[in-house]
Amino acid sequence: MMNKYTQLKAEWEFKREVKSRLIQPGQCKSATQLRKCMEELHYLINDIKKKYKFVPKGASVLFEKYNNMHEKLIYQQISQQNIL
């Protein structure tokens, strides 16, 4: 069982790294940009998991936000192609 201090430290490091390495999902302009952020988030989650043997709660929520935005952009692209 992991102690509370280690969990807080992992969560703090995760948030700090997300802030410095990633663009927020709502600020991404293209599906490609979102895929790159999702890939980087995946690597970050693996690094935190290896280091602390713990995955912060916000990791899956953030990944889901990127995924939802990615799907939305792809749907918009497909819709625009079908209209033209």
Q: Which two tokens stand for residue 53?
A: 């043997």
Q: Check pLDDT > 80 for residue 82.
A: no
Q: Which two tokens stand for residue 1?
A: 């069982």
For residue 76, the model assigns a pLDDT of 87
Are the C-beta atoms of residues 56 and 11 closer than 8 Å to each other?
yes
Cβ density class 19-55: b for 16+ within 10 Å, e for less:
eeebeebeebeebeebeebbebbeebbeebeeebebe
Banded pLDDT at 84 (limits 50, 70, 90): low
Q: Check pLDDT > 80 for residue 38.
A: yes
What's the pTM? 0.85
Tell me the pLDDT tens digit for each residue of 55-67.
998 999 999 999 9
